Amino acid sequence: MGIRLKILLAFVLCFGAMAGAGLIFLERSVNESYGAIEQSDITANMGRVEQSFEASAASLKNQTRDWAVWNEMYRYALHPDPDWVRENIGDDALAPADISLAMIFDLNGRLLTFSTVKDGGVDLKILTPQIAPYLNNIRSRTDEAQCGIIRIDAGLLLACWSGILPSDATGAPVGTVLMGRLLDATRLTKLREQTKLLFALDLQSPMPEGLGRWARMLEPGLLGSGEFWAASDPEVYHLFYPVQDILKQNVGLISLDVPRSVHRQGLLLYQQVRRQFGWMALIVTIALGLALHLILIRRLRRFAKQIGALASGGLAGFAGGKRERHQGHSSHPGATCRVREEGPVGPAPGAQPAR
């Protein structure tokens, strides 16, 4: 393996290791960042569902208080009049106000009257044993208008109640007004249109297994504690929100599927960056290879040729000199002999001896 290939291989390994480590840290950072964004987005979606019920409850709460703080309602609670009931809280009055149920109680909690609208042509069954605990709880809390969920035979009912006062809202309550909206298919369709989310509301049923709890993500409110549960696959988050009644019992379950669009965006970003890393590493490796060839390898080759040329010329000169010396010695064989035979040469006549 040549030196150029070795150096290129070292570059490839170093840049590959650097790119691999960078991609690992990038993937972790992208997962954490987009995971937080996705969690916020999912919580916001479930929050929109919760707020749609809160908005409906706020509207019903205002209507209930308007009926409760009213001189005519105040007089009726003190002196019940069937004719007044037929004129003011009959079917003809409830349907335009988008109210499914109206109940009036006196100061002692005795039911004075109630009216309902038909659900699919059938009267709502209200006075059943299961509503008694709700009514006991409602009659004990009439200081201010409140709302909550109660369960009746027809399904879940959004209910609001308020103490009966004169129109100037002075004095002590002389009774209680309760109004409700049935959370039927028609109303849920309206809420879906408002939220642009295809959620479902079912009577309480066991939640699927393998769910993760998302605690303290939403504020406690009308529907319950604000906690919901979630499971996910690569494409969708499946959310489940337990609905609690005014007695803090689980009576329903909201389910919502949220596409993981944020997660897909994070994966797409990571794939794009990974491709860019790969192309960048390849381009840098090629550039370094060319620079290595132009700056080092080509010069080394030229230097090697020069050394080879010098080596070849030096050997030829050394061999020629040796031959010349050999020929010089062999052409005067007697010179040395004569010098050795004559012996040392004495000083010239008249020369001074060396001191």
Q: List per-residue pLDDT tens for the chain, 355 residues long.
A: 566 677 767 767 777 777 777 777 766 776 777 778 888 889 999 999 999 999 999 999 999 999 999 999 999 999 999 989 888 887 778 888 889 999 999 999 899 998 888 766 566 778 777 888 999 888 877 778 899 999 998 899 999 999 999 999 999 999 999 999 999 999 999 999 999 999 999 987 778 888 999 988 899 999 999 999 999 888 899 999 999 999 999 999 999 999 888 767 777 777 777 787 778 777 877 787 777 777 777 777 777 787 878 877 765 555 555 555 555 554 444 444 344 444 444 454 444 444 4
Query: Which tens digit of pLDDT belongs to each residue from 123-146?
Result: 677 877 788 899 988 887 777 889
- Sort strands 212-214 and 250-259 into parallel, antiparallel or unpaired: unpaired
Q: Which two tokens stand for residue 88?
A: 């003011």
Among 214, 234, 260, residue at a domain's last position = 260
Q: What is the DSSP string of 154-223?
A: TEEEEEEEEE-B-TT--S---EEEEEEEE--HHHHHHHHHHHT---EEEES-PPPSSPEEETTSS---SS
DSSP state of 234: S
Per-residue pLDDT, 272: 79
Q: Which two tokens stand for residue 118?
A: 């038909």
Question: How many alpha carbons fall within 13 Å on the CB side of residue 148?
Answer: 22
Whether residues 211 and 138 fall in one domain:
no
Q: How far apart are CA 222 and CA 156, in angstroms?
A: 13
User: Does residue 334 fall inside a structural domain?
Assistant: no
Containing structural domain, residue 110? 69-183
With respect to residue 134, please indicate whether it lies within any of the assigned structural domains.
yes
For residues 229 and 283, membership in a common domain is answered with no
- Does residue 274 lie within any of the structural domains? yes
Q: What is the DSSP string of 278-342?
A: HHHHHHHHHHHHHHHIIIIIHHHHHHHHHHHHHHHHHHHHHHHHHHHHHHHHHH-HHHHHHHHHH
Tokens of 23: 């991609």
DSSP 102-125: EEEEETTS-EEEEEE-EETTEE--
Q: What is the pLDDT of residue 335?
A: 44
Q: Are 125 and 49 found together in one domain? A: no
- Residue where one domain finishes, among candidates 118, 153, 183: 183
- Is residue 53 within 8 Å of 191, Cβ to Cβ? yes
- Domain match, 255 and 272 both: no
Q: Is 181 exposed, middle or buried (0-12, 13-18, 19+ CB in 10 A)?
A: buried
Q: What is the per-residue pLDDT for 269? A: 74
Residues 245 and 274 in one domain: no
Q: Which residue has the tokens 């066991």?
A: 206
How much is the pLDDT for 16?
A: 72
**Direct distance between the N- and C-terminal alpha carbons of the chain, in angstroms, rounded to an integer:** 73
Domain check: are 80 and 174 in the same one?
yes
Q: Which helix (H) or strand (E) holds 152?
A: strand 146-152
pLDDT (0 to 100) of residue 320: 55
At 168, the amino acid letter reads D
Provide the pLDDT for residue 332: 47
Choosing from 260, 281, 310, the residue where a domain stops is: 260
Q: Is 112 exposed, middle or buried (0-12, 13-18, 19+ CB in 10 A)?
A: middle
Kindly state whether residue 161 falls inside one of the protein's structural domains. Answer: yes
The tally of domains found in the chain comes to 3
DSSP tag of 242: E
pTM (two decimals) = 0.71
